[in-house]
Amino acid sequence: MRQLAQVGDVVLEGDGKQRLWRLRSPAYALTMGVVGRGQVAVLDWQNPATQTQWLKSLAPLFGFAMTLNGVPVTSLQPLDDAGAFVLADVGHEAKAGRLELRFRLRHEWLGVMATVSFCAFDGVPMLETGFTLHNEGDEAVTVSGLCPLFLTLHCAAPLTVLTLTGGHYDERFPPSGFTLSEHPLPDGASVTLECGDAGRSSQKDIAWFALGKRDDEGIMEGIVGGLAWSGRWRSVLQREGETVTVRMEATEVTHRLPPSATLSSPSAFLVPFVGDWDEAGWQWHRSLLSVCCPPTPPDFPWVQFNTWFGWTTRIDAATLRREADIAADLGCEVFVVDAGWYDGCGTGDFGHGLGNWVDHHGKFPDGLRAFSEYVHRKGMKFGLWVEPERIDLETEIAKQHPDWLAKRDGRIIGGGRYGHLCFGNPQVVAWFKERLAKIVADYEVDWLKWDYNIAYGLGCNDATHGHQDGDGTYAHTQGVYAVKAFLREKFPHLVLEGCASGGHRIDFGILRFVHTYWLSDFTHRAANVRFHLTGAWFALPPRYLNTWVVHEGTMVADFRSRMGGAFGISARLCEWDEGTRERAKRAIAEYKRLRPFVLKRRFLLTLQPRSLHSWTVWQFYDPATDGGALLAFREQSPDERLTVRLKGLNPDARYQLHDADTGETKTLTGIHLLRDGFFLTIPEQGGSTLWWLQRGG
């Protein structure tokens, strides 16, 4: 095959006569070609570094599966008179950092064209897949089950699947939220993941998996995958003999595609890896940050002060000015006014007044902009909370526009005095583009927190909204994306924070538009927060792991327990004594020093704890500087000493380790730290220790 295009370390090759194409990078070589009566298949998939062959026979294209007029379809099926998709033409596009291979497939009978894309990226091992349908026929067709990942592998070795639950709220330990689980995948076994009945994307599971096998020397190799979708979804991983299939699809989508219309699937991501689960997470992170996530401002994630847990809706300008004075002195970098700032919201339920989206002049007599200016004069950024998708049915906007409300079988989706707005309605999307832009401009907002505290269930099926009766969840999700994309384009400086009663809609679709994400509304107990951070890190880059210190627990270990991602405080600062404020100030300075390492690699030196009698030890490491930190916690363990083996270091180098609490310094070789380990001591239960790691000495 001859070279057709190259972008950095990604190369596309092709042979027109043989009708073969190959995408290759240092992490994969993927060969596709025409078979049968013109269908396109994956012929070969291997890892050039390890020579692992992931296919022993041809397989359907990874990025294309659905149901068309009731018939299941892939690039190889059906084979009967229902008609197949055959190759029409092949194209590619090379631009900065990205190489896309596109197959245009034509249905033999229906006049439907499918464009299936494979996007490869320079410098990272990620592949992005998906497809778009265009009806060039004379009759409408019915499409359902949009599946941008239909992966087939062949493997004789034992396989293990790593999965992660979503952002459940519970007070027990271990919590159910962000729980890592390893599932053996023997012959005949399957693992099912899904969003859950409530309809928010991560109410039950995160749309993510890691699949791995070990060689004779114990080295793991495998694939990480995820679905970029914020609506309803389902995934099944199953094994039959040596054949493994992975299916990830958007569900509850039935769309009648009329002539001349188009419909696009969500995207899916695949990342090959060689190493342990930490390596899988690291390759996934750096790929997402390069390909998917928006860029961030300097020194991000900023240290936050948020009003919610300290003050809930009992806020006013005088109170918050006092809090802003203290927050600035502590070293906070952004001051976020959470729910309760808008007209119609008193000091009770924060849902009252949702939809008004103008400042409450009783709480802010000089206007919210005046308070924003005060925060800016203190050297902090100004943040504001909104919840666009839920509305108070007693507001004027709800009464004026009952046609904006999401409905299922004629009944308003929601409960009590609250309704769910339908962003599948173009009028709703247009109104929120205008209104949110006005909020950002009028109040000089630097950080906008978008919350989502209402379940969507099966979604809206009111076809008068501009969507169809079977695709309400699809249309709503696309509408939400459209508003977020508009805000990002209009206000490039604006930081968007995601939230959905905590982490109930945290997925790789929403990550395209937000810079950080509130991880869980249960942020009160430090041990639970550490559990969440330990698990969520595998699927989510650290800047998306936003947790705060609240009124319950303000000792050194409590502050450090929130340092595994984005860090903040939400408490009544004016009620903190001098000792607590001093601990907070030291902790914030400590976090700012730790922050660059947190954003790089993390090695989990202890398992995710299933008991309060376990230690938790994180190693943060920057490969570029060969430095980092060790952060360890002893909750109720009877053992005050623990030896941990570090990872990633140069065995021939020498390292200085400095105790942040006592000032003690030790110098040890890399081989000693890797092989023999490092001895940690935490004298008291509930305590912590932080050691800075620096090459040299």
In three state form, how does the secondary structure of 82-146 look? CCCEEEEEEEEEEECCEEEEEEEEEECCCCEEEEEEEEEECCCCCEEEEEEEEECCCCCEEEEEE
β-pair type (678-681, 641-644): antiparallel
| Residues forming CATH 3.20.20.70 domain(s) in the chain | 304-597
> For the purposes of burial, counting CB atoms within 10 Å of the CB of 140, is it exposed (0-12), middle (13-18) or buried (19 or more)?
middle
Q: What residues contact 319, with CB distance under 8 A and at least 6 apart?
A: 311, 574
| Residues forming CATH 2.70.98.60 domain(s) in the chain | 2-291
Give dist(CA 38, CA 23) in Å, integer: 20
- Sequence length of the chain is 697
* Of the candidates 387, 389, 391, 490, the residue with the CA atom closest to the CA atom of residue 437: 490
Unique residue bearing structure tokens 């994309």: 485
Give dist(CA 374, CA 49) in Å, integer: 56
Task: Say how many CA atoms lie within 13 Å of 375 toward its Cβ.
Answer: 30
Torsions phi, psi for 431 (to 5 deg) = -65, -40
Tally of CB atoms within 10 A around 628? 29
Q: Domain 602-695, CATH 3.50.50.60 — does that match?
A: no
Task: Say how many CA atoms lie within 13 Å of 200 toward its Cβ.
Answer: 22
Asked if pLDDT for residue 214 goes beyond 90, the answer is no
Q: Which two tokens stand for residue 484?
A: 């977020």
Q: What is the pLDDT of residue 80?
A: 73
Asked if pLDDT for residue 110 goes beyond 70, the answer is yes
Q: What is the pTM of this model?
A: 0.97
Pair 43, 157: CB distance under 8 Å? no
User: CA 136 → CA 63, 94, 110, 257, 654, distances in Å?
Assistant: 21, 27, 8, 10, 66
Task: Summarize pLDDT for 40-58 with one digit per residue, the tens.
Answer: 999 999 999 999 999 999 9
Task: Summarize pLDDT for 371-407 with one digit per residue, the tens.
Answer: 999 999 999 999 999 999 999 999 999 999 999 999 9
Element (H, E) at 39: strand 39-47
Pair 516, 494: CB distance under 8 Å? no
| Residues forming CATH 2.60.40.1180 domain(s) in the chain | 602-695
The stretch 145-156 carries a mean pLDDT of 96
* Of the candidates 505, 507, 546, the residue with the CA atom closest to the CA atom of residue 529: 546
Nearest-5° angle of CA 283, CA 284, CA 289? 100
The stretch 660-683 carries a mean pLDDT of 98
Q: What is the pLDDT of residue 697?
A: 63
Asked if pLDDT for residue 264 goes beyond 90, the answer is yes
User: CA 197 → CA 79, 246, 424, 453, 459, distances in Å?
Assistant: 35, 22, 20, 15, 11
Of 20-24, 167-171, 623-627, which gets the smallest average pLDDT? 167-171
**pLDDT tier at 168, thresholds 50, 70, 90:** confident
Give dist(CA 629, CA 661) in Å, integer: 13
Q: What is the pLDDT of residue 219?
A: 74
The stretch 521-533 carries a mean pLDDT of 96
Task: Summarize pLDDT for 302-334 with one digit per residue, the tens.
Answer: 999 999 999 999 999 999 999 999 999 999 999
Element (H, E) at 477: helix 472-490
Give dist(CA 697, CA 677) in Å, integer: 18
* Of the candidates 589, 467, 452, 443, the residue with the CA atom closest to the CA atom of residue 517: 452
* Of the candidates 161, 158, 148, 165, the residue with the CA atom closest to the CA atom of residue 224: 161
Higher pLDDT, 397 or 215: 397
The stretch 648-659 carries a mean pLDDT of 97
3-state secondary structure of 67: strand
Give dist(CA 53, CA 66) in Å, integer: 27
As a whole number, the mean pLDDT across the chain is 97
Q: What residues contact 387, with CB distance under 8 A and at least 6 apart?
A: 339, 354, 450, 451, 452, 453
The stretch 649-678 carries a mean pLDDT of 97
Alpha helices per DSSP H over 537-634: 556-560, 578-598
Give dist(CA 475, CA 423) in Å, integer: 7
The residue type found at 423 is F
The stretch 166-187 carries a mean pLDDT of 95
What percent of the chain lies above the pLDDT cut of 90? 96
Asked if pLDDT for residue 99 goes beyond 80, the answer is yes
Alpha helices per DSSP H over 378-471: 396-400, 426-442
Task: Summarize pLDDT for 355-366 with one digit per residue, the tens.
Answer: 999 999 999 999
Give dist(CA 347, CA 261) in Å, integer: 49
Give dist(CA 128, CA 149) in Å, integer: 9
Element (H, E) at 372: helix 368-377
User: CA 641 → CA 300, 591, 666, 684, distances in Å?
Assistant: 34, 24, 17, 10
Q: Domain 304-597, CATH 3.30.930.10 — does that match?
A: no
Asked if pLDDT for residue 17 goes beyond 80, the answer is yes
Give dist(CA 510, CA 253) in Å, integer: 19
The stretch 460-484 carries a mean pLDDT of 97
Asked if pLDDT for residue 548 goes beyond 90, the answer is yes
CATH topology of domain 2-291: Beta-galactosidase; Chain A, domain 5 (2.70.98)
